[in-house]
Amino acid sequence: MTHPLTHYAQRACLMALASVADRIGFDVPLAQYNQAQATQVVDAITQAYESAIRDQSSRAGYKVSPPLDGFENDSIPF
């Protein structure tokens, strides 16, 4: 199930990017980040996105996570 990126999630992702860019230095262009710096960006944005989706799901009334595609049956061996 895909989730649209709400304005809240967009802002959370941008704030995460800004936080990492602030630590690395705004004078370093994104294209010149080394692997460790790029990984920090990916991790920060991913965590912000996942947190926003969890918040959105909990506000929608889901207990644990949004329903999947009907394949959450534990008896399926794969």
Query: Would you say residue 69 lies in a domain?
Result: no
30 lies in some domain: yes
Counting Cβ atoms within 10 Å, is residue 38 exposed (0-12), middle (13-18) or buried (19+)? middle
| In a domain? residue 2 | no
Task: Give me the number of domains the chain comprises.
Answer: 1
72 or 41, greater pLDDT: 41
Residue 71 lies in a domain: no
Instruction: Find where tokens 């989730």 sit.
Output: 3
- Tell me, yes or no, whether 64 lies in a domain: no
- Whether residue 73 lies inside any domain: the answer is no
pLDDT, tens digit (0-9, with 9 covering 90-100), for 19-59: 999 999 999 998 999 999 999 999 999 999 989 888 877 77
Q: Specify the pLDDT at position 54.
A: 85
Domain residue limits at 35: 7-59
The answer to whether residue 69 scores a pLDDT higher than 90 is no
Could you tell me which of 60, 50, 51, 68 has the C-alpha nearest to residue 1? 68
Q: 18, 49, 22, 24: which is closest to 37 by C-alpha?
A: 24
Q: What is the pTM of this model?
A: 0.66
- Answer yes or no: are the C-beta atoms of 24 and 33 closer than 8 Å: yes
Q: Could you report the per-residue pLDDT of 10-21, keeping only the tens digit for each?
A: 899 999 999 999
